[in-house]
């Protein structure tokens, strides 16, 4: 490790070091002693007048168990992206906030950035609620009940629970150590590795929790894929569920029966809305636990490294589906045994993003679809084939991604299966550790495809596939000129 990042930039992380010191309640004298440097040198580091050397980075990691990625600027880059999204809103047109001002704010206080981003989301949610209410009453003679207006004034009903839960998972870096530890211990204690996962889980549920498992005909289950009858202590599974999904559903129930207290503790500590967001978070945690039980941390992480992150091979080894394995890869963030910080995205044929998780710094847009230059949607043309691509965001960060279609059963025969594309990616520097990058010239600066987070936030003037002009640029219209992009705009 050197004092420069892979792209040659020195690491200046003064504000991050200052925040860490204050969070730990340390004086500059105390921290300098623990790091083995002079107080004056630490003061220069905190004022961004000295870069972090390899030795200091290692001492920080050893002394305070710091995630070095948080000091390498990734968190700051994500904060800058959040601020750019906020200040690109038309309501702030004319604010003329300089990019350097955004960088200064992101470096000085990521917590303030999070607060600004939450305030902006609350504004967007309020606007969406108002628009929805207006549409609802547009064709009616009745006025909206006053209670609705009172709810809006109090700020109730303005948060989208799904987004709230996604944000909480992201804040936790998609990793819950207590759940992973408990799942790993249960896997070993129950000796699940000695039998086929489905039969091992079925026998465990019966012998330990006196719970039966029955696979039911599709005409009986109809649109229900799994149902747990608490009175009869029976789990009913639809016959339409593939093997990996049956294993997942049994793992879900097995963990809840054994460790529901851990789930309850995480939900309570989240402080999410108890009516809407908290129940969604509980379901998400139960699914996290199911994956942790199917693919216990150490076994799965070691296999992933040996197989060079071959998702299909990991599917075979752990009796899991492509999306299950890809999602599990984003959770490998255990202290002292961290994996590659992957991100995951799932889109449908209409471009809706129905799932997104990130253990790294990849920034997802909250509004709109994905960039058309990103080859996610090409996977729909060739179902079952894995696509790979190197991409570069407008801030210069580079990533490597793979994508493939996945199918989800729809219930009875009258409900067709759903098809999605799952994208899995990581920073380009990690790509050489993935089997999918074999044969690619990763050092070629022309390899990454320039993409944007979403059209509304992308200022690439040469994009031929742009659907909308950027919100943070002034649109220009020329009668006698037609460029490669359908929209032209001022870059400053």
Does residue 143 lie within any of the structural domains? yes
With a cut of 50, say whether residue 173 has pLDDT above it. Answer: yes
Tell me which of 336, 360, 384 is where a domain ends: 336
Residues 6 or more apart in contact with residue 315 via CB below 8 angstroms = 244, 321, 322, 324, 325
- Residue 54, domain CATH: 1.10.260.40
350-356: long-range contacts (C-beta < 8 A, 24 or more apart)?
351/377, 354/420, 355/327, 356/166
Residues 6 or more apart in contact with residue 242 via CB below 8 angstroms = 321, 409
Chain-centroid distance, C-alpha 217: 36
pLDDT band (50, 70, 90) for residue 484: low
CA distances from 107 to 69, 103, 111 (A): 14, 6, 10
Mean pLDDT of 30-40: 90
User: pLDDT (tens digit, 9 = 90+) per residue, 70-83?
Assistant: 665 556 666 777 77
Tell me which of 29, 44, 72 is where a domain ends: 72
Of 63-67, 70-74, 173-177, 300-304, which range is least confident?
70-74
**Which structural domain range is residue 45 located in?**
14-72
Does residue 434 lie within any of the structural domains? yes
Any idea what DSSP says for residue 477?
-
Confidence at residue 129, expressed as pLDDT on a 0 to 100 scale: 56
CA distances from 301 to 70, 230, 242 (A): 22, 35, 24
Residues 226, 287: one domain? Answer: yes
Mean pLDDT of 366-375: 78
Most confident stretch, 169-173, 194-198, 304-308, 477-481: 304-308
Residues 55, 96: one domain? Answer: no
Tell me which of 309, 336, 363 is where a domain ends: 336
The answer to whether the CB of 252 falls within 8 A of the CB of 299 is no
Confidence at residue 368, expressed as pLDDT on a 0 to 100 scale: 63
Confidence at residue 5, expressed as pLDDT on a 0 to 100 scale: 47
Mean pLDDT of 213-220: 93
> Bigger pLDDT: 446 or 3?
446
Of 42-56, 282-296, 375-389, 407-421, which range is least confident?
407-421
Mean pLDDT across the chain: 83
Residues facing 388 on adjacent strands: 402
The whole-model pTM stands at: 0.72
Confidence at residue 1, expressed as pLDDT on a 0 to 100 scale: 39
Q: Which of 38, 35, 37 is nearest to 20 (CA)?
A: 35
> Bigger pLDDT: 5 or 218?
218
* Alpha carbons 170 and 121: distance in angstroms, whole number: 16
Residues 321, 363: one domain? Answer: no
DSSP-assigned letters across all residues of 448-471: SEE--S-GGG---TT-TT-SS--T
* Alpha carbons 407 and 323: distance in angstroms, whole number: 9
**What is the rounded (10 degree) CA torsion for 106, 108, 109, 113?**
-20
With a cut of 80, say whether residue 251 has pLDDT above it. Answer: yes
> Bigger pLDDT: 213 or 1?
213
* Alpha carbons 11 and 186: distance in angstroms, whole number: 42
Q: Which two tokens stand for residue 136?
A: 């609802």
Residues 6 or more apart in contact with residue 75 via CB below 8 angstroms = 16, 69, 110, 361
Most confident stretch, 419-423, 448-452, 471-475: 419-423
DSSP-assigned letters across all residues of 233-273: TEEEEETTS-HHHHHHHHHHHHHHHHHHHHHHHHHHHHT--
The widest CA-to-CA distance across the chain, in whole angstroms, is: 78
Residues facing 248 on adjacent strands: none
Residues 314, 350: one domain? Answer: no
Most confident stretch, 134-138, 379-383, 410-414, 459-463: 379-383
With a cut of 70, say whether residue 325 has pLDDT above it. Answer: yes
Residues 178, 259: one domain? Answer: yes
Mean pLDDT of 237-260: 96
> Bigger pLDDT: 460 or 50?
50
Does residue 140 lie within any of the structural domains? yes
Residues 138, 258: one domain? Answer: no
Confidence at residue 136, expressed as pLDDT on a 0 to 100 scale: 43
With a cut of 60, say whether residue 464 has pLDDT above it. Answer: yes
Of 12-16, 263-267, 341-345, 405-409, which range is least confident?
12-16
The total number of structural domains that make up the chain: 4
Q: H helices within 14-98, ranges in order? A: 14-24, 28-35, 39-46, 54-64, 74-87
Residues 474, 400: one domain? Answer: yes
Residues 179, 296: one domain? Answer: yes
Phi first, then psi, for residue 8 (nearest 5°) are 95, -5
Residues 6 or more apart in contact with residue 488 via CB below 8 angstroms = 461, 475, 476, 477, 478, 481
Residues 258, 321: one domain? Answer: yes
Confidence at residue 468, expressed as pLDDT on a 0 to 100 scale: 75
Of 92-96, 345-349, 386-390, 432-436, which range is least confident?
92-96
- Residue 451, domain CATH: 3.30.450
Does residue 195 lie within any of the structural domains? yes
* Alpha carbons 278 and 266: distance in angstroms, whole number: 10
DSSP-assigned letters across all residues of 29-53: HHHHHHHTS-HHHHHHHHTTSSPPP
The answer to whether the CB of 132 falls within 8 A of the CB of 241 is no
Count CA within 13 A, CB hemisphere, residue 233: 11
Confidence at residue 144, expressed as pLDDT on a 0 to 100 scale: 42
Residues 6 or more apart in contact with residue 78 via CB below 8 angstroms = 361, 363
Residues 97, 224: one domain? Answer: no
The CA-based angle 145-151-156, given to 5 degrees, is: 145
Does residue 5 lie within any of the structural domains? no
Residues 187, 290: one domain? Answer: yes
The answer to whether the CB of 148 falls within 8 A of the CB of 133 is yes
Does residue 4 lie within any of the structural domains? no
Does residue 168 lie within any of the structural domains? no
> Bigger pLDDT: 69 or 179?
179
Q: Which two tokens stand for residue 109?
A: 């206080």
Does residue 457 lie within any of the structural domains? yes
The answer to whether the CB of 433 falls within 8 A of the CB of 418 is no
Q: Which residue has the tokens 């109090």?
A: 154
pLDDT band (50, 70, 90) for residue 443: very high
Residues 381, 426: one domain? Answer: yes
213: helix, strand or coil? strand
* Alpha carbons 7 and 448: distance in angstroms, whole number: 14
């Amino acid at each position: 490790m050197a004092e420069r990042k892979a792209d040659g930039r020195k690491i200046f992380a003064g504000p991050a070091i200052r925040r860490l010191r204050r969070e730990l309640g340390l004086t500059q004298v105390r921290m300098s002693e623990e790091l083995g440097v002079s107080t004056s040198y630490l003061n220069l580091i905190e004022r961004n007048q000295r870069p972090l050397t390899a030795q200091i980075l290692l001492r920080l990691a050893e002394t305070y168990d710091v995630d070095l990625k948080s000091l390498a600027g990734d968190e700051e880059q994500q904060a800058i992206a959040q601020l750019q999204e906020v200040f690109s809103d038309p309501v702030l047109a004319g604010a003329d906030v300089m990019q350097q001002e955004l960088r200064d704010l992101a470096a000085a206080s990521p917590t303030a950035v999070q607060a600004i981003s939450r305030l902006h989301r609350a504004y967007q949610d309020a606007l969406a609620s108002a628009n929805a209410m207006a549409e609802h009453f547009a064709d009616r003679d009745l006025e909206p009940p006053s209670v609705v207006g009172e709810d809006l004034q109090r700020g109730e009903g303005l948060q989208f629970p799904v987004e709230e839960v996604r944000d909480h998972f992201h804040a936790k870096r998609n990793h819950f150590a207590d759940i992973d530890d408990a799942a790993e211990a249960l896997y070993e204690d129950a000796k699940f590795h000695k039998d086929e996962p489905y039969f091992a889980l079925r026998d465990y549920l019966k012998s330990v929790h006196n719970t039966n498992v029955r696979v039911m005909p599709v005409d009986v289950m109809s649109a229900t894929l799994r149902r747990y009858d608490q009175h009869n202590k029976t789990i009913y599974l639809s016959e339409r569920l593939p093997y990996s999904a049956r294993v997942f559903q049994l793992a879900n129930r097995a963990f809840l029966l054994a460790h529901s207290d851990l789930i309850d503790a995480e939900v309570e500590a989240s402080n999410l809305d108890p009516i809407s967001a908290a129940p969604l978070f509980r379901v998400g945690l139960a699914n996290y636990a199911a994956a942790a039980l199917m693919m216990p941390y150490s076994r799965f992480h070691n296999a992933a490294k040996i197989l060079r992150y071959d998702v299909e091979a990991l599917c075979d080894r752990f009796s899991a589906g492509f999306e299950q394995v890809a999602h599990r890869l984003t959770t490998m963030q255990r202290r002292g045994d961290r994996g590659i910080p992957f991100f995951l995205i799932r889109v449908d044929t209409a471009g809706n993003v129905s799932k997104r998780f990130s253990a790294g710094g990849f920034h997802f847009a909250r509004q709109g679809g994905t960039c058309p230059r990103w080859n996610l949607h090409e996977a729909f043309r060739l179902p079952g084939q894995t696509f790979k691509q190197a991409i570069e965001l407008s801030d210069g960060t580079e990533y490597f991604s793979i994508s493939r279609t996945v199918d989800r059963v729809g219930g009875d025969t009258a409900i067709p299966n759903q098809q999605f594309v799952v994208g899995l990616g990581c920073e380009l520097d990690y790509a050489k550790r993935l089997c999918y990058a074999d044969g690619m010239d990763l050092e070629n600066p022309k390899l990454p495809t320039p993409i944007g987070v979403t059209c509304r936030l992308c200022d690439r003037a040469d994009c031929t596939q742009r659907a909308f002009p950027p919100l943070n640029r002034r649109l220009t219209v020329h009668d006698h000129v037609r460029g490669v992009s359908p929209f032209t705009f001022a870059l400053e």
